[in-house]
Amino acid sequence: MTQLSPRHANANLADYTTWRVGGPAEWLAEPTTIAETMAWVEWAQHKGVPCQVIGAGSNLLIHDDGLPGLCLCLRKLQDHSIDAQSGVVEALAGEPIPSLARRAARAGLHGLEWAVGIPGTVGGAAVMNAGAQGGCTADSLISVRVMPKQGGQSFDLHCDELDFAYRHSRLQADNFVVLSARFQLEPGHDPKELSRITKENLNHRTTTQPYQQPSCGSVFRNPEPQKAGKLIENLGLKGTRVGGAEVSTMHANFIVNIGHAQANDINALIHLVQDRVEAEHGLRLHPEVKRLGFAATA
């Protein structure tokens, strides 16, 4: 059984999220192998404590009071393989999706160019069906290897078993820990052209979105065919603040930490934006961001 060390107790979760907010984890583990990951899940089950999985922390809002039980941070669970002939790409859950996209492009594999600006992991992308630039995870995912949070053997779930929809998968029910993923990309493309496209995609995101400030990326799902950012901007909410949280003046679907924000500031600003959009347009924006430690809310 994996042994805990003092550094795993009362870890500051603000250091593990891109918003730079959140209270302490009762216990924190950062496994580097699948075997370690499975051992930690079994440890939590044996101790009878909750197990919460986090990746790059780029789509999370963690309560200021922190989280009880074990936080299993998979951002160090990294490794990958790329078969340039078949187009099959495999990666562990903590592999950063942007670097995987760049490597695939250099191998002449088409299908992940959209992911170069997504500040998350392969596991998080599968859970959220992350997407951008007209592409998404479901387009090329073959399967994910998961293990139940209750412990037990790992097994594969294929793409057609994951109930993929816009920014949704059955993995969000939170009963599984994603260990790895397999993708089928399209081989035989010009690596220089694919690399050019990935650079253009990244440049578009970094010049139109506030990547120099702590954020979680897009806060709200787009209520298609409308865009959440446009609805928020048209209400004059850019620059609106609660404490140290602000609706970005660059892109209205981003909430940024302008300094010393608390998770409660951000959560209050999310509700403020939802209420204003609903009052004006009669629709409730649904957050993409996953809120941990807060009362269940829309």
Task: Identify the CATH number of the domain in which residue 255 sits.
Answer: 3.90.78.10
8-state DSSP, 4: P
* Residue 55 is assigned to a structural domain of this protein: yes
CATH number at residue 112: 3.30.465.10
Query: Which one of 180, 218, 246, 248 is the catalytic residue?
Result: 218
Is there a catalytic annotation at residue 145?
A: no
* Residue 2 is assigned to a structural domain of this protein: no
* Residue 217 is assigned to a structural domain of this protein: no
Query: Which one of 30, 95, 113, 288 is the catalytic residue?
Result: 288
10-residue mean pLDDT series, the chain (298 residues) = 57 95 96 94 92 93 96 96 98 97 97 92 96 92 96 94 94 92 98 94 89 93 94 98 98 96 98 98 95 80
For residues 62 and 123, state if they share a domain: no
* Residue 213 is assigned to a structural domain of this protein: no
Query: Which one of 75, 145, 167, 182 is the catalytic residue?
Result: 167
Is there a catalytic annotation at residue 218?
A: yes
Q: Quote the tokens at residue 289.
A: 């961001």
State how beta strands 60-62 and 176-184 pair: unpaired
Domain residues for 239? 228-292
Domain count, the chain: 3
Cα dist. 217→15, 20, 156 in Å? 17, 13, 29
Q: What is the pLDDT of residues 204-222, one digit of tens each?
A: 888 889 988 999 999 999 9
- Mean confidence (pLDDT) of the chain: 93
For residues 117 and 191, state if they share a domain: yes
For residues 85 and 189, state if they share a domain: yes
Is there a catalytic annotation at residue 58?
A: no
* Residue 189 is assigned to a structural domain of this protein: yes
Nearest C-alpha neighbor of 57 from the set 293, 291, 298, 296: 291
Cα–Cα dist 215/18, whole Å? 6
CATH number at residue 12: 3.30.43.10
